[in-house]
């Protein structure tokens, strides 16, 4: 797993992930609270297959960028020796 045990122990991390997932899945979002979306016509375009493909592409790009950032390692400050 990328970056495991860097910020906090994995056991504690999974507890936080579970709590945040519970909040995200079971609490109402802003659109549900307000009862309407900001741009209803635009939002309807992304319901179904098109929205799923867009979500998959964005998720893939995010994971790719995360993998790139994890492979760089620790870099020293550029002017450390000056």
pLDDT tens per residue across all 82 residues of the chain: 555 566 677 778 888 899 999 999 998 877 776 666 566 677 777 778 888 888 899 999 999 988 887 776 666 666 665 5
Tell me the CA distances in angstroms from 58 to 46, 51, 53, 62, one per residue in order. Answer: 13, 10, 9, 6
Is 82 part of a structural domain of the chain? no
Q: Does 23 share its domain with 51?
A: no
Is 27 part of a structural domain of the chain? yes
The string over 24-40, giving b where at least 16 C-beta atoms fall within 10 Å of a residue's C-beta and e elsewhere, is eeeeeeeeeeeeeeeee
Predicted local confidence at residue 45, as pLDDT: 75
Cα–Cα distance between 1 and 5 in angstroms, integer? 10
Distance, CA of 81 to chain centre: 37
Predicted local confidence at residue 48, as pLDDT: 80
State how many domains the chain has.
2
Domain containing 61 equals 39-74
């Amino acid at each position: 797993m990328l970056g495991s045990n860097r910020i906090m122990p994995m056991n504690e991390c999974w507890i936080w992930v579970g709590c945040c997932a519970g909040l995200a899945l079971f609490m109402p979002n802003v659109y549900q609270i307000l009862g309407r979306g900001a741009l209803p016509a635009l939002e309807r375009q992304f319901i179904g297959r098109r929205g799923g493909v867009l979500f998959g592409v964005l998720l893939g790009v995010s994971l790719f960028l995360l993998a790139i950032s994890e492979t760089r390692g620790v870099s020293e400050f550029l002017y450390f020796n000056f």
